[in-house]
């Protein structure tokens, strides 16, 4: 980190170019490393899709298997058998001739950004931090790594939630005979995973937002606690808008963590700001005591002046 110095516009642009080149180089190297293992990477991303398909197949078969006995084997209709077979052997449609290679490149670039994000965030901070004061830098030192960890936690939570979301979305297609619920195009699935991961990663920043609002005094902690009902309503609306799926499970999978993270943010804001609020209360009490003392002194002086004015002998202190 450079010390606090005055920099010209040209020096700022040169500094920006340096950090930008370093960040892009890290992303490019990580993307190439992901490209070497692109098959394993895609199989990992497609894991929730395969699990959702197999669980949906088990759910389709369950009513017929429950009625079966050793004497009466299960009588599964042909359309259900076809759907079960497709679900147990899920296949994605590649689309056009260049769709596969384009999707692999985009997938590797996205994973490269995710892997290189600590270094990228550091480069952003190294550029921005030059223009910040020392106390502002301390604030970023504390909350910067916490923000990155929350983003990774949101991305991990999204990966394990994808299975439930996909299962709920594909279950709609099982009621239509001519629809194959397991057939997704490669581009649509990667886009769905990317948007879900990004949405959950940003949603997991809620505790930091709450702590920032309380720390800067933009919104007091008492107001954040008092307006919880309105905040929860807004969170449900945000979850309904930003989740890729339109089913209740998709919305609930984001709304419930948002509400819990908001409560966590309130708790952390109360813990971290307790000492500061006590100091502020003590300062206010001291200011109020000083104001009362000044007012009392002014009142005594006014009373003394009034007594001197109404005394027939003038100022009684003059005889002392």
Mean pLDDT check: name the lowest of 214-218, 226-230, 259-263.
Answer: 214-218
CA distance readout (Å), 230 to 108, 233, 235: 40, 5, 9
- Residue 21: is its pLDDT beyond 90? yes
Max avg pLDDT among 39-48, 65-74, 87-96, 132-141: 39-48
Mean pLDDT check: name the lowest of 15-29, 33-47, 250-264.
Answer: 250-264
Q: Is 90 left (phi over 0), alpha (psi -120 to 50) or beta?
A: beta
Instruction: For residues 111 and 41, give the distance between their C-alpha atoms in angstroms, rounded to a whole number.
Output: 9
DSSP H or E stretch at residue 93: strand 92-93
The pLDDT mean for the chain works out to 78
Share of the chain above pLDDT 70, in %: 81
Burial status of residue 76 (CB atoms within 10 A of its CB: 0-12, 13-18, 19 or more): middle
Find out whether 130 and 2 touch, Cβ atoms under 8 Å: yes
- Residue 312: is its pLDDT beyond 60? no
Residue linked to tokens 């499970």: 249
The beta strands (E) that lie in 20-161 are given as 92-93
Answer with the residue of higher pLDDT: 195 or 36. Answer: 36
> Tell me, what's the pLDDT at 29?
94
């Amino acid at each position: 980190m450079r010390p606090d110095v005055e920099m010209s516009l040209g020096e700022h642009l040169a500094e920006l170019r340096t950090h930008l080149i370093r960040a892009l180089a890290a992303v490019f190297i990580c993307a190439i490393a992901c490209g070497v293992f692109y098959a394993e990477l895609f199989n990992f991303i497609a894991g929730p899709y395969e699990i959702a398909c197999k669980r949906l197949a088990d759910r389709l078969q369950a009513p017929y298997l429950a009625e079966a006995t050793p004497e009466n084997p299960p009588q599964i209709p042909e359309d259900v058998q076809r759907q079960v077979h497709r679900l147990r052997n899920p296949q994605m449609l590649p689309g056009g001739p260049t769709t596969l290679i384009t999707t692999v490149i985009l997938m590797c670039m996205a994973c490269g950004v995710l892997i290189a994000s600590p270094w990228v965030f550091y480069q952003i901070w190294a550029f921005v931090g030059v223009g910040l004061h020392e106390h502002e830098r301390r604030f970023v030192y504390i909350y910067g790594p916490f923000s990155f960890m929350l983003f990774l936690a949101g991305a991990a939570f999204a990966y394990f939630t994808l299975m439930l979301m996909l299962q709920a979305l594909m279950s709609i297609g099982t009621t239509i005979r001519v629809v194959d619920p397991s057939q997704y195009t490669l581009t649509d699935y990667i886009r769905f995973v990317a948007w879900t991961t990004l949405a959950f990663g940003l949603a997991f920043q809620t505790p930091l937002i709450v702590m920032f609002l309380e720390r800067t005094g933009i919104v007091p902690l008492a107001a954040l606690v008092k307006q919880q009902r309105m905040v929860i309503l807004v969170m449900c609306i945000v979850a309904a808008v930003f989740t890729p799926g339109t089913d209740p499970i998709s919305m609930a999978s984001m709304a419930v963590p948002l509400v819990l993270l908001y409560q966590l943010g309130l708790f952390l804001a109360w813990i971290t700001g307790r000492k500061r609020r006590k100091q502020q209360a003590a300062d206010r009490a001291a200011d109020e005591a000083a104001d009362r003392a000044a007012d009392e002194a002014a009142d005594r002086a006014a009373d003394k002046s009034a007594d001197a004015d109404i005394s027939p002998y003038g100022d009684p202190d003059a005889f002392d």
